[in-house]
Structure formats: structure tokens, C-alpha cells
Amino acid sequence: MNMGTSQARADNSPPAAGAAAALLPLADDKQSAISLRSEHTTIGRAAECDVVLDDPRISRQHATITGDSHQYHVRDAGSLNGTFVNGRRVRADTATRLHPGDELRFADLRFHFLSGPAGQSHPPPARLRLDDAAAEVYVGDGRVVLAPKEYALLRVLWRRAGHVCSKECLAQAVWPEEQGIVTDASIESTVSRLRRKLAAAGGHRAWVQTMPRQGYRLTGDEE
């Protein structure tokens, strides 16, 4: 999986069956979560890495993530610019355990680590449809009238259907004019209005699910 200059560039195919962990880029609302498909994932600038970060600040062999469906650890591979978990630099000779919602940073490239239910892929609701060209939303055959910010927020969640989108990611994508400085109350209010309008149109409030300490995700009908 190759990540483009200054950001992640990856294969956007659905996660493999059983994939229970993922890295979610924080700086790009268009980028899908990157599934960790094996028990040993190498990360770096070299083409042979499992996750390629094509950025000059990234070392050729930057870090590794190891684990299974129950527990994951990250280890720096002797990189020049470092690997960080929640702001603390990881030592090259130490495996640092990762927890759902942790911020993982390789040099200056930042991700949220997702595992368990947050790291698994789920399809979007079958009855929910977005017409991006017209900026319209439908539940079944009925149109849902959304304010611009409500539509923008739903669009971000739709692009990452089944994966968590952090409040920071939503702030940057939905309120670009605020340069990412948006209160939690503003985000929560927009999410609440979006839920009410989807429910009023025959959808479900639970389609937009809160993931404690992580953010929000759009889930399918089975949720």
C-alpha cells in the first residue's frame, strides 16, 4: 500500500476478512482507513514496505506494527524523524502497545489507530444515498434536506463508511474556513441535527454512531 507525497496513498479496496485494525489518516478527509492485514506490517518510504509513506521525512524502513485481533504493538525501526504514540517518541528497542483511538505519528504524518469494532469495515446503510453532483441526500426515495455543514459532515462519513472519523478530521473537512479550530459543541450539534433529519426521513439515528474517545462513523442497517 503506497501513500502519496506528504500523505498516505493506499489501495482503497475493502479490508480483508478478519482485518480488525487500521490506520486512519488525520490530515486527509478523502483517504480511507488503511487495514493492517497481517500480523507483521512494515511502514516506511521503501517500495517493499507493506505501507509505503512517500514523504521525504519518512525513513526507508520507519516502523513496524505487530499483533493479532487482540493486541497490537508498534516499534520504531531506527528512523531519523521518529515514531510517536500520543506525542511520546517510541524507542527503537521497545515495543509500545497500541490502544484504540491512540494517535500514531510517523515523522509528521499523523494517524488514528483503530482496532476491534472501530477497525472493522461495515457497508453504509442500503437505503441511504448521496448524489454528490447535486449535493442531495435520499433515504429510500425521499429526499432529505440538509444544511451545507450537515451535508459536508455526512459526505465525510460516507467516504469512510464503517470507519471512524475523528472530530479533528471532521473539523478540518467540514469547517475549512476555521483552520481546524472548531469546538466539540459545534460538531456534536451538527451530528445531532443530521441524526434527527435522517430519522425523520425514515432512516435511523444510529446510522451515525458515536465511538467514545475516537469520533463518529457511518454504519449499515444491521447496526
Q: What is the 3-state secondary structure (H, E, C) of 66-91?
A: EECCCCEEEEECCCCCCEEECCEECC
| pLDDT tens over the chain, length 223 residues | 555 443 444 433 334 444 568 887 876 555 567 888 778 999 999 999 999 999 999 999 999 999 876 789 999 999 999 999 988 999 988 999 998 778 899 999 988 887 765 455 567 788 999 998 899 999 999 999 999 999 999 998 887 777 778 888 888 889 989 877 899 999 999 999 999 999 999 999 889 999 887 789 898 754 4
Q: Quick one: cell of 99?
A: 490502544
Distance CA 137, CA 146 (A): 8
Is-contact 112 102, C-beta < 8 A? yes
Q: What is the 8-class DSSP label of residue 183?
A: -
Burial, 213: exposed, middle or buried (Cβ in 10 Å; 0-12, 13-18, 19+)? exposed
* Exposure string over 108-136, b if 16+ CB within 10 A, otherwise e: ebbbbbbbebbbbbbebbebbbbeeeeee
Is-contact 12 3, C-beta < 8 A? no
Distance CA 132, CA 7 (A): 24
For residue 53, the SS3 value is: strand
